[in-house]
A and B are shown apart, each in its own frame.
Chain A
Amino acid sequence: MGRMPNTPTLQYFSTPMTNSEPTSLLSGYRVLDLSSSMGAFCGKMLRDLGMDVIKLEPPGGDLARWEPPFAKDRKNGEGSLRFAYLNAGKRSVTLDITQEFGRKAFLELLGRSDVVLESFEPGYLEAHDLGYHDLIEKQKKLILVSVSGFGQEGPYAHYKTPDIVGNAMGGLLYISGDPAMKPCNPPETQSYYYASLFACYGVMLALWQRETRGIGAWIDTSIQASMALHEHVAFNYSAEGRVMKRAGSQHQHNAPANLFQCKNGWIALFVTQNHWPLLLRIWNDHDPALDDPKWINSNLRRQHADYINAQVTTFTSRFLKEELAELFQKNGIPGLPVNSPSDFMKDPHILARGFFGTVRHPILGTFLQPGNCFMVDGARGGPMPAPLLGQHNDEILRAELGLSMDEAPS
């Protein structure tokens, strides 16, 4: 696999379509984000949609501030890059909601908020008299969105769920990786991201319900249930009695649908029956045996994937991955290079769309960060830095709520 040299990033900064602010689609709504890394991406999406997201952190800070990866030489509460990405654009207030001052401030803020996001162990908020039924006393139309490993109730509700447990119990892990090896976890914390996406959709539905019918809701998001929608794993078994297994990079119904060797790396090809003749056309010296019309049939090619893949490799291995992708695309074949993350960050298309923008963070410095992953009427909300711990205590607790900070435990 080709390693890309380290590149200073600012030199390829170009954001013609990027604003410095998030979109204002849902401005005016306020979210109190009590979550840690399980639900943080939901809070980030709500921020990207324009909501005011206030992160309420316990006095030592959100535990996610101590989760890797870290900025070099900054293995401390302000150095976590995971925290920096997942909490971009949020405001931070330090509050111990289990103590009197914190509880009072929390309930004050609740009266001025629309959504509460949390990812505690199920039952934690109830145990502190801050469960859904307590909270709606203060905010009748509240939308409470909970993210947990298995949901608020049921036999596994109290099972601990680091990301790898979510991927395992949801069924994605079993089909992931080289069949000759152990199942392989995907990069970062995909089960947390995915549950957070569902949680965010749940918030949209609950908001719609509130705007049209005047009622609140409690959304119970399960990491396992979110992951179990992946790759037809459950449906294939239920409808066809088929257990999907690990297959490396080989797609279950198609060939060539795999990664193929190039001179400087690999290309991802997915060739359907419509693309097969196009592939043969640009591959002048292919084995004439492949011209047999029987090979149009994708199922047959899949049954003989080893043969087909070996043949296709004799062609792909003559090219650089980027040049081959361009050749394929020009000829209507959907091939794309296997990029390293830094390849992706330098891609001209990604740069032209202004996906990355510059943020300035008082501790981490100035660097490129993804902006919103969607555009509204052709404009993209640019990235914002994550807050320092308690950065907004003063503007929210004192200036907005008028609380005397003398009461706050130091």
Chain B
Amino acid sequence: MSPNQILQGVRILAFTTGYAGPYAGRLLASYGAEVIKIESKKGGLDTFRHYGQHKDIDAAPRFIECNLGVRSLAVNLKHPTGARLIRELAGKSDAVLQNFRPRVLDKLGLGDDELRKSNPKLVIVKLPGFGSEGPKSNYGTWGFNLTAFSGITYLWNHPEQDRPIGSQGVYPDHLGFVMGPTLLVAALLNSRRSGKGVTIDLAQIESTAAVLGTTYLETSVNGDDPQPKGNYYEAAAPHGCYRCKGEDRWCVVSVRNDDEWRAFCRAIGRDELLKEARFADLSARLDHRVELDRIVEDWTQARDAEEVMHHLQGAGVPAGVVQTGADLLKDPQLRHRNYFSPFADSLIGPFEIPRSGFMFRGATEDPLRLPNRLGSDNESILMDILGYDRATIDSWRNEEVLT
């Protein structure tokens, strides 16, 4: 069986917008879940449909990227009939995934209790920025400012700089969109045996803080106030990012112990360094890391980054090209893993996209699927799942329930 069918038979209602929530849905759909994304032209469209100002709301590249494989139900939640249909669907579903601000769904009559009324096994997973409860739970958050709030931005910098840098991106979204599906399937496994669905509150600020746990211990155990270290690592020298031949080309190198140091010196043809007292052991090399960095860069900058990596790794020294997006697409290792799922054609033309961080060994993966156009699954969902006839469905169109 293809891993892309593992969750076949699991139905998930997704109230998601932006990056983390939709991508969490995509990662569930990629493994076979039927993910029904619920939106409405009446004030409830995924914000990524407008990203990049494409006229066709189904053709924003960001939207497509984050919503692969999902079905689409367009229903106006502010209409009493629309909200009722969602409650009925919840009765026929296994889980709800949502990243709205706290209490938005409650106000529409779609709180946890109402959704679970006819289905006590329903799992509900929420990914609010600051969590469902607490003094700042109504704060507006993005991955960008959650990174800042957690302490990651403060630390993600070269040492001794006059301003923080952090990241141009939205690091926390990536954490939320893997942890969300993980918790959702864990809760499904739980409700399968307990007969009772739980509500999971995954505050994205906390899933972000979870990857800074060691740093918080430096504060709480040692009373330290950790500062940015950049590419410095206190257990390896040389350790860092070194300029290579070409414009903005770099290779990282990390020498962690005496064996790797010997291998490194031989690999760059500098055996004489092995005799130098200032580089005799790791602690000496750490003390003289500025000189070491110069020695490494003298060697790397005359060479292609790829050559540096292959040559050093071949000698047993950790090294890696600082790869760009273009490099990733032609990376032989990723290609070996059949990492990219190709789309020969789509509303945005052909493209390839990463599948996942893991694969099931011995299994063949199916191609991923595009998202369905807004509302294109209305009829089949309402007829096949809820049993309504076409005349009733048409009448809801006129009453602006299905829009």
Cβ-closest chain A residue relative to B62: A232
A225-B357, A234-B340, A337-B149 given as contacts; is B323 within 8 A of A68 (CB)? no
State in angstroms the CA–CA spacing of A178 and B159 once bound together.
12
- B residues in contact with A150, CB < 8 Å: 333
Interface stretch, picked from A95-103, A155-163, A284-292, is A155-163
Cβ-closest chain B residue relative to A342: B219
Interface residue ranges of B193-243 to A (CB < 8 Å): 198-203, 205-207, 209-226, 228-231, 233-236, 239-241, 243
Q: Is A168 an interface residue (CB 8 A)?
A: yes
Q: Once the chains bind, are B165 and A222 in contact (CB under 8 Å)?
A: no
Q: Is B395 an interface residue (CB 8 A)?
A: no
**Could you give, for residues 351-384 of chain B, a 1 whenever the CB lies within 8 Å of some chain A CB and a 0 otherwise?**
1111011111110000000000000000000000
Classify chain B's interface size.
35 or more
Q: Once the chains bind, are A252 and B168 in contact (CB under 8 Å)?
A: yes
Q: Is B166 an interface residue (CB 8 A)?
A: yes
Cβ-closest chain A residue relative to B319: A165
State in angstroms the CA–CA spacing of A338 and B1 once bound together.
47
Q: Once the chains bind, are A370 and B209 in contact (CB under 8 Å)?
A: yes
Q: Is A153 an interface residue (CB 8 A)?
A: yes
Shortest CB–CB separation between residue A223 and chain B, in angstroms? 8
- In the assembled complex, 18 residue pairs joining A and B whose CB atoms fall closer than 8 Å, in A order, are A9-B223, A159-B309, A165-B254, A169-B320, A176-B167, A178-B158, A182-B231, A184-B231, A186-B171, A197-B175, A197-B182, A222-B337, A235-B354, A237-B325, A247-B168, A259-B163, A338-B153, A339-B150
Give B contacts to A, CB under 8 Å.
1, 3, 6-7, 9, 27, 31, 47, 51-53, 61-62, 65, 130-131, 133-142, 144-158, 161, 163-171, 174-175, 178-179, 181-183, 185-190, 192, 198-203, 205-207, 209-226, 228-231, 233-236, 239-241, 243, 248, 250-252, 254, 256, 309, 313, 316-329, 331-334, 336-337, 339-340, 348-349, 351-354, 356-362
- B residues in contact with A389, CB < 8 Å: none
- B residues in contact with A338, CB < 8 Å: 148, 153-154, 164, 166
A68-B234, A176-B156, A369-B217 given as contacts; is B182 within 8 A of A45 (CB)? yes
Q: Once the chains bind, are A151 and B333 in contact (CB under 8 Å)?
A: yes
Q: Once the chains bind, are B354 and A26 in contact (CB under 8 Å)?
A: no
User: What 5 A-B pairs have minimum CB-CB distances, sorted nearest first?
Assistant: A198-B357, A226-B357, A237-B325, A334-B140, A268-B148
State in angstroms the CA–CA spacing of A96 and B10 once bound together.
42
Q: Once the chains bind, are A224 and B334 in contact (CB under 8 Å)?
A: yes
State in angstroms the CA–CA spacing of A38 and B137 once bound together.
33
Shortest CB–CB separation between residue B282 and chain A, in angstroms? 11
Q: Once the chains bind, are A69 and B153 in contact (CB under 8 Å)?
A: no
Shortest CB–CB separation between residue A53 and chain B, in angstroms? 14
- B residues in contact with A332, CB < 8 Å: 140
A225-B356, A376-B200 given as contacts; is B165 within 8 A of A177 (CB)? yes
Q: Once the chains bind, are B189 and A164 in contact (CB under 8 Å)?
A: no
Q: Once the chains bind, are A164 and B222 in contact (CB under 8 Å)?
A: no
Interface stretch, picked from A105-113, A205-213, A392-400, is A205-213
- B residues in contact with A222, CB < 8 Å: 333, 337, 357-358
State in angstroms the CA–CA spacing of A184 and B153 once bound together.
12
Given A182-B231, A239-B348, output 6 extra A-B contacts at Cβ < 8 Å. Answer: A164-B239, A164-B254, A194-B357, A208-B189, A221-B358, A336-B145
